Structure 1
Amino acid sequence: MTELVAAQLYRAPFENVSKVYYQHHQGLRGLPSLEQYLDGIEQHHFGGTCYVNNFHLNGLLNHLGYAAHLCGADMNRPDVHLVNIVQVEGREYLVDVGYGAPFDRPLPRDLTDAYVITCGRDQYILQPRDERGRSRLDLVRNGQHKHGYDINPTPRHIDEFQGVIQHSYRAEATFMNTLLIARFFPRRSLVVHNFTVIEAEGTHATSRVLASDAELAAFVAQQMEMPRDIVQDVIAHLGGLHGDAWG
């Protein structure tokens, strides 16, 4: 399973380019079909946001015989994030390829101490389960708590998330105003957050700010291998790139 998770993470980035593009050109306000998802990966180097990436990985894992369950996770509101809980040989693991994080392996839930993954300026800390069986994951950036989620371990069906998925397409929603592309490789990562580019390898990270829409589109086309015309179109629809993906 570790190889499957790593292959998915490295091949299908966290990104909202496809989300905005499919909405404006196809009227999509839900999840792309498996065929559309795979075509996007192959033709445009798309991936998706949490619901897209984790839902389609769930289908693959179950098809291959794994006991993988979709579960909601609470952030600022209930169930605004989706993860997989997978049972292997009596143990439970968190599998999350939709958080824009370097989770290239299943993360154990039966912890007695915090499980820490470091990537540049970021630390991702998975805490032991609480008395209700919930796991807490925190993102600490430059020593300051930035983001996180609480996993609700009850297995769910994707239809139960239709409301929150549609809610994510509102004009004021985060990924209708923010560009976020996070691409991962063995031992390094490349993230574009609006006009900021963050490159990390091990515990070292560098960042720089791109000067214009044109420079941003060119960078994404070259480094993320997405079609420049699609990226330019999405940047125009995002309108100013003033949102904060971790806000």
Structure 2
Amino acid sequence: MGKLDGRVVIVTGAARGQGEQEARLFRAEGAEVVLADVLDDQGEALAKEIGARYVHLDVGEEEQWRSAVATAREAYGRVDGLVNNAGILRFNSLVDTPLDEFMQVVRVNQVGCFLGIRTVAPVMEDGGTIVNTASYTALAGMAAVGAYAATKHAILGLTRVAALELARRGIRVNAVCPGAVDTAMSNPARLDPDADPRETAEALDELYRGLVPLGRIGRPEEVARLALFLTCDDSSYVTGQPFVIDGGWLAGVSIV
């Protein structure tokens, strides 16, 4: 018996990185998974590999959300879970951030999460789950990622409000807050087909050794396991909460 047997879950940003690992794990645990992304070739290949359904979804487009949810319901008859994983990151100081760049990040990270909740929740089965991907930066400041941090703070607000409003239907809403994770977002070398993933991961581990108490960067599979916990019945009395998964980074700095 899988932890998600009989459930239908939509995962956004599912073509690679954390979303890919979430889709793989959820499928292995018995869920019917709808992979949503704008990376069509990668998304379709992954869906075929794991026996899932792929839909093209730009999370900032309301009509595409409606189409994705309709596809899920036509294919499986219901929706029980949503993982709002899609997100983008841009590096810039606040005073050097153009408005267009700021709004681009808001559109994907914040508006995408809002539209996901607003579109999926009304048709979700009672007792369903929503997991929103926030960030370590939703709970602490970080220089050079002001637009990103602002959207991740906003996602925590959306999570808490949605948890309150949907509780009467038994729908639980929580947020995962990863620190640095070895995906293309924090490790662009993963986009280089000639790069050695093991070498780049080791280089990142060395970079974070002095920052993170556990001495390494996070792995997307670790975030996926947390998302699974929040989607399955193991977390049946948990809602409205941020869950930090950062190797102890937020705990503070050790001077010894």
What TM-score do you get using the length of structure 2 for normalisation? 0.25
Higher helix content, 1 or 2: 2
Higher strand content, 1 or 2: 1
